[in-house]
């Protein structure tokens, strides 16, 4: 009887340990972006625009960024005033963040839910105002 208890405890420890390593490994995954040329970023995006972050909303896994559109480069009507773009929160899944009041050039795709989405690997860039001399 004692041997059965020892065997059960041993297998429980092995199963628990294996489960721990599987869960730990899944959390260690990281985002990896392939190097691309500017033309590749342009070709991969459905829309490209320069915009200022006006507000930030949050769901359980994504941020919703409302941008004031300053300049349209691709895919939007030239008179577009605002647009909402979604981004994953988790950096390990190539999520990205933007700051309210900051200006960015945004590259986004239209996802299966008919919402615009971007990520760390799409080529988004900070836009800095040129200083006058």
The model's pLDDT over 2-14, given as tens digits with 9 standing for 90+, comes to 566 565 566 555 6
Tokens of 43: 């070709």
- Cβ neighbours, 10 Å, residue 45: 22
- How far apart CA 42 and CA 23 sit, in angstroms, is 37
Going from the first residue of the chain to its last (133 residues), give the mean pLDDT of each consecutive group of 10, the final group possibly shorter. 58 54 52 94 98 93 96 97 95 92 98 96 89 51
38-126: CATH topology:
OB fold (Dihydrolipoamide Acetyltransferase, E2P) (2.40.50)
Q: What is the pTM of this model?
A: 0.74
- How far apart CA 87 and CA 52 sit, in angstroms, is 15
């Amino acid at each position: 009887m004692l041997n059965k208890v020892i065997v059960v405890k041993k297998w429980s420890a092995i199963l628990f340990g294996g489960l721990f390593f599987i869960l730990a490994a899944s959390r260690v995954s990281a985002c990896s972006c392939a190097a691309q040329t500017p033309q590749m970023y342009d070709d991969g995006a459905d829309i490209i625009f320069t915009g200022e972050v006006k507000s930030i909303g949050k769901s359980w896994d994504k941020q919703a960024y409302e941008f004031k559109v300053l300049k349209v480069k691709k895919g939007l009507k030239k008179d577009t005033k605002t647009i909402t773009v979604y981004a994953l929160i988790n950096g390990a899944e190539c999520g990205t963040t933007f700051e309210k009041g900051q200006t960015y050039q945004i590259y986004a795709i239209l996802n299966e839910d008919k919402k615009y989405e971007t990520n760390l690997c799409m080529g988004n860039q900070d836009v800095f105002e040129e200083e006058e001399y």
